[in-house]
Amino acid sequence: MREPQSKSIDPRSLLGGRALFPGDEQYDVRRRVWNGMHDRQPAMIARCGSAAEVSAVLRWARSEGLAVSVRGGGHNVAGSAVADNAVMVDLALLNAVGVDPVAMIAVAGGGALLRDLDAATTTHGLACPAGVVSHTGLGGLTLGGGYGWLARKWGLTCDHLAAAEVVLADGAIVEASPDGHEDLFWALRGGGGNFGVVTKFTLRLRKVGPVVHQTGVYALARAAEALAAYAGFAEQQPLDLHTVGALKTAGHHRWIPERLRGKPALFLTAGWFGPEADGPGAIAPLFRSVPPDGRLDQVLSYADLQALGDCSEPAGNRYFTKSCYLSDLTSAPAAALVEAGHEITSPLSSIDFEFLRGAIADVPDAESAFPNRSAPYIVTASAQWTDAGEDETHAQWSRQAVDRLSPWQHGGAYVNYVQDVRHQGTTHLYGDNRYHRLATTKSCYDPENVFRHNQNISPVVAAH
């Protein structure tokens, strides 16, 4: 029922020590987010332990005329979890995950991380398709879409959302599902954090087993021919297989040839999610025509696969990400990618790419707010560094790497990877028709644009 209480309650009396203000002992710890570029000072941090507490905090913030930001995992590259002089609704305490293995359903709190979800589900041989870094927040990932290893086989994280408990801007607590608040449910699957605070996600699960995982590394001088082989293979790969690539500085692992260590290189990686015995044969054609300079073959649990990228993206480093969709990976865009790889300005940076489609494209376009389902490839130039004095150098490399690909871009961008402010509040991400429907839904559920610290969708429909 949409029945917000009319009287606001001071969070200090409701939350006690869980309401943090500048100068409090835990304030600086809780205001930090994953991307160290964002050093912001909220007016208050509200560490909420229930939907009712979130409701009370929102009503109080509105009564005080304060803006609101929402922290799930704090992993968004744009730092949208924290804003100067705003109330941060911190959901970290709402991280419990319950699993019904018979119904193949998980119910996760709005502050759960992917590692919380994986820990609860994989013990039952189950998983929800999700991202590839386990300290990512489940909430932001789901609301923005949710690419990951299982997306081609089973779809995005948002495609597995069965229901959501949402606290609206006026403090009302509602459940959005296919049977109630249908427009809100549609918008939550791809529209980002524009419509309310999701305090509970009900997610459908899939069966998972061991993953056959193989990676090949190539000297950059051989990258063009390896990319041609990758494109031909990836566009024909079965749904049980997902292959990704990266241009980055090679590490010092034993399986990497010594002559490549510390130098820019191309990595191609395959994950097989079908019967384990069939994995090596299914992956073999990827490396057959252009054998890699070094190769690592292993079989991983799904939980271990999900944690592989954790160490390479530590909290507190500085990040700038720019992405685009590509229509193809023929010789010209492949050459542009390789050139951008030559120009990487930080040994921590990378250009990541993968062929999409599969189950992502099988979902009818009108069923969710998530756009660009037909895009063949996604490319992400992820700059990472530690020295604040180098911010513009590395951010500019990321922009230029994607700008090089302009002639072959498919259009649009993935909302979870957008960091440049010039794209906020535009139809660039969604296209005119989808944006108009999102704005109409926003006008219904958040007409005052309380939830505006995000890739914002304006409730003012007439302006678009």
Characterize the bridge pairing of strands 44-47 and 87-90: parallel
Distance CA 419, CA 63 (A): 30
Domain presence at residue 327: yes
On whether both 254 and 355 belong to a single domain, the answer is yes
On whether both 233 and 370 belong to a single domain, the answer is yes
Whole-angstrom Cα Rg for the chain? 22
On whether both 341 and 375 belong to a single domain, the answer is yes
Number of domains in the chain: 3
On whether both 172 and 307 belong to a single domain, the answer is no
CATH of the domain at 110: 3.30.465.10
- Other C-beta atoms lying within 10 Å of the C-beta of residue 288: 10
DSSP string, 41-62: --SEEEE--SHHHHHHHHHHHH
Domain presence at residue 397: yes
On whether both 82 and 164 belong to a single domain, the answer is no
CATH of the domain at 66: 3.30.43.10
Domain presence at residue 451: no
On whether both 192 and 226 belong to a single domain, the answer is no
On whether both 181 and 289 belong to a single domain, the answer is no
Task: Look up the pTM and report it.
Answer: 0.94
On whether both 76 and 101 belong to a single domain, the answer is no
On whether both 149 and 216 belong to a single domain, the answer is no
How does pLDDT run along the chain (464 residues), one tens digit per residue? 454 445 678 888 889 999 999 999 999 999 999 999 999 999 999 999 999 999 999 999 999 999 999 999 999 999 999 999 999 999 999 999 999 999 999 999 999 999 999 999 999 999 999 999 999 999 999 999 999 999 999 999 999 999 999 999 999 999 999 999 999 999 999 999 999 999 999 999 999 999 999 999 999 999 999 999 999 999 999 999 999 999 999 999 999 999 999 999 999 999 999 999 999 999 999 999 999 999 999 999 999 999 998 889 999 999 999 999 999 999 999 999 999 999 999 999 999 999 999 999 999 989 999 999 999 999 999 999 999 999 999 999 999 999 999 999 998 889 999 987 544 456 788 998 999 999 999 999 999 999 999 989 989 754 43
On whether both 267 and 414 belong to a single domain, the answer is yes
CB of 464 within 8 A of CB of 458? yes
Domain presence at residue 429: no
On whether both 132 and 230 belong to a single domain, the answer is no
CATH of the domain at 324: 3.40.462.20
Range of the domain at 29: 11-90
Distance CA 132, CA 124 (A): 20
On whether both 55 and 167 belong to a single domain, the answer is no
